[in-house]
Amino acid sequence: MIREGKNVTDNTLTIGFIGLGNMGSGMTKNLQQAGFPLIVTDIRPEAATELIDNGARWADTAAEVAAGSDVVITMLPTPRHVDSVVNGPTGILAGIRDGGTWIDMSTSVPDVAAAARRDHAHRDLHVLDAPVSGMSVGAAAGRLQIFVGGDADDVARLRPVLEAMGDPERILHVGGHGAGYAVKLMLNQLWFSHLVATAEVLAVGVKAGVDLEVLRTSIIASPANSNFVENDVLSVLDHGDYDEGFAIALACKDLGLSIDLARTVGVPVELSAVVEQVYRRAKAQYGDLAGEMTPVKLYEDLAGVSLRRVATPEGAR
């Protein structure tokens, strides 16, 4: 199959970008490198220095960003931040022109975007939710996975913009408005659930006297295998790396939003609630900046075991 490279031909749109943090800084650099004119803002003006040096324009408010751009993108920590940037006299909705486009790429819930579409229905606004996976490394490399919710025509029209930030083969139109938020929250929830379940069984098995790698390879050979057991847990088992690139405080935020979403749609989620509590316990014990895999450490400390593989010669396992 012939794979087309990133589409950087439709770069005449001016992109407004709000939120130049761990993720937004890499995403804006890639938009700029793809040739899109940028107009940016952040509560930390210093975050825009390099972009401005390379030709981006600065705006003091979100309304000014929206007024000066064809497409406004938000990449903000929480729904509260998104709300504060979208609404009010200096917000996106105060500046965006009729028929304009806003893409929220934050990990969030649909409420703010739904209210914007409902309250401004007469203005023909185009709103997409497009949260991402891939960490700040993926943002810097322009290889994000992007889950897009919204109208198919908008997704097709904006694909060159998304492709400047993401892996073209992993930019998925997952459904109507809100579906992107939901997919992102559900995949995070499942990954965190895998992590807690895996930490629990490895700690118990090792405490019961089974060799860690024998236990792990037995699980891999069984119907209980998972990508987490096979791959992701190895950063802890091989390197003692609990992934500080994604702070546990943000992981707790995501888990809280996942439960909020379940509450909104009326589904009981006992398992998700327990996983969230384990994460909150790890956050309380090891601090907000501890890595997202720190719940594994919680079980290691509770059981009094160290979950580390002993290096063996290639092929000996």
Q: Does 107 sit near ligand NAD (CB under 6 A)?
A: yes
What CA–CA distances, in Å, run from 183 to 5, 174, 256, 261?
26, 8, 15, 11
Q: Does 44 sit near ligand NAD (CB under 6 A)?
A: yes
Query: In whole angstroms, what is the distance from residue 295 CA to residue 186 CA?
Result: 19
Q: Does 42 sit near ligand NAD (CB under 6 A)?
A: yes
Q: Does 256 sit near ligand NAD (CB under 6 A)?
A: no
Q: Considering only residues 68, 77, 168, 256, which one is a binding residue for ligand NAD as defined by CB under 6 A?
A: 77
Is 199 or 247 the residue whose CB approaches ligand NAD more closely?
A: 247
Exposure string for 78-98, b = 16+ CB within 10 A, e = fewer: bbebbbbbbbeeebbbbbbee
The phi, psi pair for 173, rounded to 5°, reads -85, 105
Q: Does 246 sit near ligand NAD (CB under 6 A)?
A: yes
**With 0-12 CB in 10 A as exposed, 13-18 as middle and 19+ as buried, what is 260?**
middle
Q: Does 261 sit near ligand NAD (CB under 6 A)?
A: no
Is 42 or 163 the residue whose CB approaches ligand NAD more closely?
A: 42
> 184 catalytic, yes or no?
yes
Size of the site for ligand NAD (CB under 6 A): 27
Query: In whole angstroms, what is the distance from residue 257 CA to residue 80 CA?
Result: 11
Q: Write down the catalytic residue from 6, 29, 184, 253.
A: 184
Q: Which residue has the tokens 């408010």?
A: 61
**With 0-12 CB in 10 A as exposed, 13-18 as middle and 19+ as buried, what is 304?**
exposed
Q: Does 22 sit near ligand NAD (CB under 6 A)?
A: yes
Q: Does 64 sit near ligand NAD (CB under 6 A)?
A: no
Strand pairing report for 57-58 and 38-41: parallel
Q: Is the CB of residue 20 less than 8 Å from the CB of residue 47?
A: yes
Q: Considering only residues 75, 183, 199, 278, which one is a binding residue for ligand NAD as defined by CB under 6 A?
A: 75
Please name which of 158, 167, 142, 153 lies closest in space to residue 69, comparing C-alpha atoms: 158
Within 110-139, the residues that bind ligand NAD by CB under 6 A are 132-133, 135-136
Task: Quote the least distance from Cβ 200 to ligand NAD, whole Å.
Answer: 25
Q: Does 296 sit near ligand NAD (CB under 6 A)?
A: no
Q: Is the CB of residue 177 less than 8 Å from the CB of residue 149?
A: yes
Task: Quote the least distance from Cβ 194 to ligand NAD, whole Å.
Answer: 17
Q: Looking at beta carbons, which residue is closest to ligand NAD?
A: 21
Residues annotated as catalytic are: 184
Q: Which residues bind ligand NAD (CB under 6 A)?
A: 18-24, 41-44, 47, 75-77, 81, 84-85, 106-107, 132-133, 135-136, 246, 250, 254
